[in-house]
A and B are shown apart, each in its own frame.
Chain A
Amino acid sequence: MATALRAAWSRRAGAPSISNHGTLYPVLMKLEQESAIASEWGVSENNRRARFYRITKVGRKQLLAEKRQWEETTRIMGQFFALGEEI
């Protein structure tokens, strides 16, 4: 799993590196409790047993909602800072 996650992250520029992998699990558990993600055991690219997490329909919806909210927030903040520059 670690590699899969790392791969997904590193595909994006500027992704933060996780200093403490252990802290991920409570977050994953929370998401799973909310049925935003589902997981199952599988085999990794280098033939090791690993647990694979994937986003569910509920999760996708939630993600979209969060994304929209985030965009709204950044838009407002952007306007706010633009205002600051005008002054």
Chain B
Amino acid sequence: MRKYENRTARFPSAARRLSSQRQDARLEDEIDAHIELLTLDNLRAGMDPAEARRQAALRFGKPSSTREACRDQRGLPHLEAFLKDLRHASRALRKTPGFSVAVVLTLAVAAGANTALFSLVDQALFHPRGIDHPERIVSIREHYGKLLNLSDLGATSGPAFADVRNERGLFEHAAALTSDYFTYTGGSKPEHLEGARVSSEWFAVLGARPMLGRTFAAEEDQPNAERVAVLSYGTWTKLFGRDRSVIGRRIELDLQPYRVIGVMGPGIEAIGPSDLWVPLALAPADIAPQERFHQHLFTLARLRPHVTEQQVDNWLRLRAAQVLASNVPGAKETAALDWYMFSKPYTDTMVGDTRTPMLLLLAAVGMILLIATANVAGLMLARNAARLHELAVQVALGAGRGRLLSRLAAESLLLSLLGALAGLALAAGGMRAVLLWAPKDAVPGLDARFDVFTLAFTAAAIAAASIFFGILPAWLASATPPVDAMRAGTRTVSGRQRLRSCLVVGEAALAMVLIVAAGALLKSFLRLEAVSPGFDTRGVMTAAVSFPAAQYSSAEKQAAFYRAVLGSLPAPSAFASSVPFQGGINAGGFEIEGRPEDEGSPRHTDVRFVSPGYFEALHIPLRHGRFFASSDHAGAQGVAIIDENVARQYWPGGDPVGKLIRPNGASVWFNVIGVAGHVLQADLALDSGRGTIYYDLYQFPQPLPVSVMVTHARVEAIRQAVAAANPAESIFDVQSLRARVAGSLASRQFLLRMMSFFAATALFLAALGLYGVISYSVSQRTREIGVRMALGARSASVYGMVVAEGLRLAGAGCVLGLAGAAGLARMLESQLFHVQAFDVATVAAAVAILLAVAVAASFWPARRAAAIEPMAALRCE
């Protein structure tokens, strides 16, 4: 024994675990002996045996408490006890499957939705894939304050890029990109690739390293250097079957040989077109001063450590001021346009307009979490309040407060764990669903990656709430003397019922906020869908064709191709330099013959080159004059068509037809032959108001790199026509015009869908909470209702009484919710089109929905109440 105890001292934990049972036995022995001795003392004091034993037992106290306390003292068995609690909890939860499923489901929905959304937003806003330290990357932009809708050009000129590249004090790396199309002709059929020309430091700016080979060296980024290419992971997989020997191989792009020098890993697809990259190879002429206001490069820069965006912006402003003060061509005119350069954080650049919707959705999903927490808290409160009697009995039988709390905490913990696990599964599925719903170009490069931290946080928040509300009743139960609790029966729960009612009112309020938001978004979306873009999308198919410079050296060759294709397609069909809702801006200034430009109000319009048949194909109305005709060929007098906005702006009250105009920098004049209707270019919600000047495509002196076809023919017919005109050509970006217009609404539609989903979830959870409270209150008032009915209350009035309770709670929620909705309105406003965030009709509809759901949720408990047998109710406890 002694030896054993020495060992106990040296290896306490192991020995203790081994001896746990023996110690229990010893303690029993000792307690028995102790009581025996006390009894003996009492006997000697002259008591009769029965009394002596009773007094001894009183003196010793509850042996169960002693056992409990000793076990606690031993330490390790805490865990053992807790495991036992968990087992007990799982038994108890299995006994009430309805409750358990409700709680787990609620938790799963909240945890799943939160994890999915937070993970995605985190990726999009803070940790984009494949980018090293995105917070140190900025894009360089240019701004024209005085030109309609050009406050952020999104591009820079060659000289601006050169400025940034040469400023080594602020920037560690700087690089520029311009997108380009390539036709790969090494396979069985020509393959269209969307690639980019990038300067040599492009990958260094992003902090992305190649998976195979290397990226561009500075001397490869020169005009007339050897042609080299870096492939994306996707292209490497698709065209070369992940053949590692592709490095060093010569491939043919646009009929030119290129040497493959590297393959990038997956992940940086997010930034611009990225099937493959070739060097930008800017020539000295591209960064010459006369290029200063020709913005065509997407410029990124990586800041040196400790350089702030403020420093960068200050430097850019200073540089812009220097440019305007210099004698750079165009500086004088540009100075009047409030032109300057600025920087934009990388994630803002990539995420763009999606930031507000994302934050809105985060707010919404956060509300779901709140509602779920309130719901679970309410359910736990009700469950454990109903078990007050049982708990009181356990206290009376000697259960310590700690043990009781531990047992209830185990239940809460088990539920939270199950909820979190189910939430994990839901989040995985949910993220895929969100990505499926999300507009493709809204946030490129997202994948269903988990943020485990978010899940842990969500689960912990819910667990904390459920444990708190789970053990609150136990705490109260163990604080009141068991006899009172038992005697009081069910009357002590009114306080907790009030707390539950408050929780439900809160849930209803949050649901109300979400319904109002979803309603406003829906109304706005319907209004947007009804907006006419100024042309008719019905039956119009669009498809792009790219023209490698090597094959199309002159405008004549390109014109021949156009004629061949259009000749085999039904009229009206046309080619254009771009179509509405395709993205991108092509805008510029123009001169009017005999009318010098006013300083301070520059002439500025969108510019589009279209072949005859374009207006007819899109059903753009002719206001005055005529459309392009086949007689307007390359050799004929140059002609232009302006839209009504240009006409109104520059010839107010006059007739523009017959007037001569020319684009800035052009040498020949173009005769205005017609005025067409104004069309929206990119956004149904926002008309920049900027007009468009159309020139005849056949009169454009240089071949275009890409043009887009508009026709009513089927896709197969288009393909055949193109292949017949030139077998090496293929079409890409094939979309109906309707799809392009709908695509511009995609992010709004996504926000609407998500918000509606969250509103519906919130409504459902709130209804569940309401149902729980009302149903519990009915069961508590069985006796009271029985008395009322015995005294002649009709079942209709019982219905009314119960439903009124539900309506009262929901009504309070509505009032609170209105205040909340007013708070959300400001954030929502920017996402709405011609709808007030606090639209009266929407709010009224939301109130009606919430109240209707409240009636439905309290209807079943009401039916149960009305079915109460007065006699049975009076007889029950």
Contacts and interface: CB of A to CB of B under 8 A. Distances in A.
A binds B: yes
Interface of A: 1-3, 19-23, 25-26, 29-30, 33, 35, 38, 40, 44, 46, 48-51
Contact of B66 (A23, A48, A51): A23
A22 B57 CA distance: 10
B33 A26 contact: no
B309 interface: no
B59 A21 contact: yes
Given A21-B60, A25-B27, A46 B70 contact: no
B61 A22 contact: yes
B133 interface: no
B38 A25 contact: no
A9 B769 CA distance: 61
Greatest chain A CB density within 10 A among B2, B34, B59, B63 is at: B34
B34 A2 contact: yes
The 3 lowest CB-CB distance pairs between A and B, nearest first, are A22-B61, A22-B66, A20-B61
B40 A48 contact: yes
A73 B219 CA distance: 83
30 contacts: A1-B30, A2-B34, A2-B37, A2-B38, A3-B41, A20-B61, A21-B38, A21-B59, A21-B60, A22-B62, A22-B63, A22-B65, A23-B69, A25-B27, A25-B66, A25-B69, A26-B69, A26-B70, A26-B72, A26-B73, A29-B74, A33-B12, A33-B74, A48-B33, A48-B37, A48-B40, A50-B37, A51-B29, A51-B30, A51-B33
Contacts of B79: none
Q: How large is the interface on B (under 10, 10 to 19, 20 to 34, 35 or more residues)?
A: 20 to 34
B9 interface: yes
B5 interface: yes
Given A1-B34, A22-B62, A26-B66, 4 more contacts: A26-B69, A29-B70, A40-B1, A51-B29
A29 B9 CA distance: 13
Task: Tell me the interface secondary structure of chain B in the complex.
Answer: helix
Contacts of B291: none
Interface in B731-767: none
A21 B65 CA distance: 11
Interface of B: 1-2, 5, 9, 12, 27, 29-31, 33-34, 36-38, 40-41, 59-63, 65-66, 69-70, 72-74
Contacts of A2: 34, 37-38, 41
Contact of A38 (B5, B30, B34, B66): B5
Greatest chain B CB density within 10 A among A1, A29, A38, A46 is at: A29
A41 B528 CA distance: 91
Contacts of A46: 40
Nearest to A1: B34
B38 A30 contact: no
Contacts of B62: 22
A44 B73 CA distance: 27
Contacts of A3: 37, 41
A38 B9 CA distance: 11
A49 B36 CA distance: 9
Nearest to A34: B9
A19 B38 CA distance: 13
A20 B66 CA distance: 10
A62 to B, nearest CB: 14
A25 B30 contact: yes
Contacts of B41: 2-3
Given A21-B61, A22-B63, A23-B66, A29 B37 contact: no
Nearest to B41: A3
A25 B70 contact: yes
A49 B62 CA distance: 22
Contacts of B30: 1, 25, 51
Nearest to B26: A51
Contacts of B63: 22
A54 B109 CA distance: 61
B10 to A, nearest CB: 10
Contacts of A49: 33
Contacts of B36: 48
Contacts of B73: 26, 29-30, 33
Nearest to B44: A46
B58 to A, nearest CB: 9
Given A3-B41, A30-B73, A40-B1, A23 B27 contact: no
Contacts of B12: 33
A1 B59 contact: no
A49 B65 CA distance: 23
B529 to A, nearest CB: 74
Contacts of A19: 59
Greatest chain A CB density within 10 A among B33, B38, B65 is at: B33
Contact of A1 (B5, B9, B33, B66): B33
Given A1-B37, A2-B34, A35 B9 contact: yes
A44 B66 contact: no
Contacts of A25: 27, 30-31, 66, 69-70
A35 B5 CA distance: 9
Contacts of A44: 37
A35 B72 CA distance: 18
A46 B37 CA distance: 9
Contacts of B72: 26
Contacts of B31: 22, 25
Contacts of B2: 38, 40
A22 B5 CA distance: 23
Nearest to B6: A35
Nearest to A46: B40
Nearest to B65: A22
Contacts of A51: 29-30, 33
B468 to A, nearest CB: 29
B84 to A, nearest CB: 20
A25 B59 CA distance: 14
Contacts of B9: 35
